Amino acid sequence: MNSLFLSNTISPHSSTTINSFSSSVSTSLPWRRFTAFPSTHRRRSFSVQSKVREIFMPALSSTMTEGKIVSWLKSEGEVLSKGESVVVVESDKADMDVETFYDGILAAIVVAEGETAPVGAPIGLLAETEEEVAEAKAKAAKSASSSASTPPADTSTSTPAISQPPPPPATVVSDDGPRKTVATPYAKKLAKQHKVDIGSVVGSGPNGRVTPADVEAAAGIAPSKSNVASSAVAAIPAKAEAPTASSPPPIAGSTVVPFTTMQSAVSKNMVDSLSVPTFRVGYPVATGALDALYERVKPKGVTMTAILAKATAMALVQHPVVNASCKDGKNFTYNSNINIAVAVAINGGLITPVLQNADKLDLYLLSQKWKELVEKARAKQLQPHEYNSGTFTLSNLGMFGVDRFDAILPPGQGAIMAVGASKPTVLANADGFFSVKNKMLVNVTADHRIIYGADLAAFLQTFSKIIENPESLTL
């Protein structure tokens, strides 16, 4: 659960600010003096006025910049108790119930269901007493009216009025005063050869550039075919610029669908990953023994994903640099834990639940943990630490029959491994005899700032040995 409120309570005798989970939008009552005992010593005391608190859009993850209100669990006017869930917020990765740390009345809902708000923006108002409900509603109405009056000012500056005159053409050049003549080198050569004042020649090329054909015309000479062709070619860019000025018209019958919060987060991460210099290394792995192990442990609830995650974690123990990460381009971190993030496609996006300390869990516990994470991911109930703590990512499309693919490196991690399907492959030995064995192709994408080719090759060799002799995975 996450708290909704953040406030500052200031002592009258100190400049120290005491942070608590609420934010007051009203002022305190004047301080009152009273005598505690009938003596010359007098003590100063005060009473705290009840407050109207703003309910803020919480930051549910380190990458969250805005949230969407999925549903309000309480209605305006309902009395809330401390620790009670009030609203369901969709972050960039999951839907989370958010609770209050204070008793009060939900006086006003500022952001309705289905709408979004940036992190830290008020989404509702909480009153402590019935008398403050009207004050909170007035505050919400004033906020809504001020925000509604802002867009027209923005649109008036960004959208020109129809009555505005069009800007003057850029190609109009005044004949008054000297002007700089722009001409091609060959045109200048021809002008000198035929004794033509090139400054008096009107250019027909882009931006008024004088072409050889213009000089020959001024000299009264029939333009040659080559000059005509070059002049035409020179004029093409000016004509070709017109179509690029406007975007292509939409295809008839097409529908524009805005990104969901999760899709926006995935899009941002994919764009951010382009700033990291990566390289890829592929490796074929024999899977005969792996397939046999899977058939043996599958009735016990063990999944192939858990087996691959366990094998990857065991290989990373021997190659810690592949489990390292570089976030600022100035240094890198050897991560103390091996947390395997596994890509999972869910409705409307992609998420990577994390199997934490995968090297330390046995195969059966790891598989059970994985099933729980998948269920929470599909219900959009993952907690932030369950999807943003990965140190190495695994992406498996083998169940779809994909032979091989390359995966995009997630920001903040050193490597990601893409696993293809296990398929029968014809092999030839040193004696020239042929055999058929099951093999799968794995491709690792890595951050070349901290991981080098030899590092990945050694890691993949270790991973292959574990897969080809998988009995150690069940220990």
* Dist. CA 361–CA 339, nearest whole Å: 11
Per-residue buried b or exposed e for 322-341, using 16+ beta carbons within 10 Å of the residue's own CB: bbbbbeeeeebeebeebbbb
The three-class DSSP label of residue 310 is: helix
Two structure tokens written together for 448? 């070349």
Active site residues: 448
The three-class DSSP label of residue 24 is: strand
* Dist. CA 82–CA 96, nearest whole Å: 17
- Distance set, CA 233 to CA 135, 188, 204, 222, 393 (Å): 72, 18, 12, 18, 52
Dump the DSSP string for 279-290.
EEEEEEEE-HHH
Q: φ and ψ at 17, to 5 degrees?
A: -100, 125
- Give, for 360, the enclosing helix (H) or strand (E): none
List, in sequence order, every residue forming a beta bridge with 8; answer none if it has no partner: 19
Measured on CA atoms in the order 111, 116, 122, 126, is the torsion positive or negative? positive
Q: Any long-range contacts for 40-43 (C-beta under 8 Å, 24+ apart)?
A: none
Residue 77 near residue 133 (C-beta atoms within 8 A): yes
Q: How many Cβ atoms from other residues are within 10 Å of residue 400's Cβ?
A: 9
Residue 66 near residue 57 (C-beta atoms within 8 A): yes
Two structure tokens written together for 193? 């050869």
Two structure tokens written together for 176? 């008054």
Beta strand 32-34 pairing with 43-45: antiparallel
